[in-house]
Amino acid sequence: MKFAQSLALSGLVASASAVPLACGPSGKWFDRFVVIVMENTNKATALADPYYRQLADEGVLLDGYQGTTHPSQPNYITMISSTTAAGVYDDADHNSTQGNLIDILEPAGISWKAYMEGYYPLDGGACNPMHQNKTSGYVRKHNPFMSFDNIRENTARCQNIVNAEEHFAADVAKGRHAPQYMYYTPTLNNDAHDTNVTYTETDLKYIINTMKDNEQFMKNTLIMVTFDENDIYSPDSYGTSNDVYTVLLGKDTLSCTGCVDKKFYNHFTQLTTIEQNWGLPNVPNHDGNGPMWDSWMVPFTTLKAKNNRN
């Protein structure tokens, strides 16, 4: 991989095409964001795996990206909320009244869906607050949406938390009509929690290739593959670096491939970038001033004007 010499020279670009982009509000840099969250692996271990290395070579490796804390659950919740999970610092079931990302996506007309492998909703699509399904490999601690009262107790919102095996490929097949914010959580086996990154390759390849193979879906879509935390669990290690493998991908959107960004980022960066991309108000208690990946992104309005002249 080559190291980027200047962040200012890199960016996400949207290619000229007659194919319409995502339905819904256009973003400053991307129209759709997909995040896939893997588990408990050191960055060096992931990069030593051929498939994860391949993804890094195809995209932009955020080499300074870190998890926010230990154990798992607070990392997931910080991706859609503003603090370390409103007092959530463990893997127990929690019910929070705090605001979250969905509270700012919906008023802006930005569609969303959370895809959970091994998750089965209750009758009528109501949220299933179960702690774990030992047969399927689903665990609530990896489903941050379930921790917020205004999602879990809202039947309409619960319809957007779905079984990944049944809905993900079908939604991607909708092309530009697919949700604009998509959050994907594999099972304990498929996310490396109970296995390793080599085991996860089959499932992750399926997820990634399902998206890559749909040209309309990929138009102006940004994909992130990240891990919740590294595999250091000792309390003595909690204050040390929590480096995790994180890569950005996007067919026809990355102007720099195989590049490395060494700036510091963490899971809060997802919120900041999403807020700024769609011009959204900050999630409650989130100041929106954290680092973003905008060094890699070119304003879509500029590219649209350029493409219209071609």
Residue 65 has which token pair?
């990206």
Residue indicated by tokens 């399926």: 206
Instruction: Determine the pLDDT at residue 307.
Output: 40
Strand 259-266 with 246-249, pairing? unpaired
Instruction: Determine the pLDDT at residue 92.
Output: 86
CA 87: distance to chain centroid? Answer: 22
Length of the chain: 310
DSSP 8-state class, residue 25: P
Known catalytic membership, residue 228: no
Report the phi/psi class of residue 192: left, alpha or beta, with left for phi > 0 and alpha for psi in -120 to 50. left
Query: What kind and span of H or E run contains 171?
Result: helix 164-172
Question: Taking the chain, what is the end-to-end CA distance rounded to the nearest angstrom?
Answer: 32
Regions of the chain where pLDDT drops below 70: 1-21, 83-87, 232-240, 252-253, 286-291, 293-310
Instruction: Determine the pLDDT at residue 20.
Output: 44
Q: Which CATH class name applies to 7-309?
A: alpha beta
Give the Cα separation of 172 and 207 in Å (integer). 10
Instruction: Determine the pLDDT at residue 4.
Output: 36
Amino acid symbol at 138: Y
Active site residue: 194, 203, 231, 294, which one? 194
Q: Measuring CA to CA, which residue among 5, 3, 2, 10 is closest to residue 293?
A: 10
Beta bridge partners of 221: 32
Amino acid symbol at 221: T
Instruction: Determine the pLDDT at residue 302.
Output: 42
Q: Measuring CA to CA, which residue among 284, 290, 292 is closest to residue 102?
A: 284
Q: Measuring CA to CA, which residue among 77, 45, 37 is closest to residue 243?
A: 45
Q: What predicted TM-score, i.e. pTM, was given to this entire model? A: 0.88
Residue 87 has which token pair?
């007092």
> Where along the chain do its domains lie?
7-309
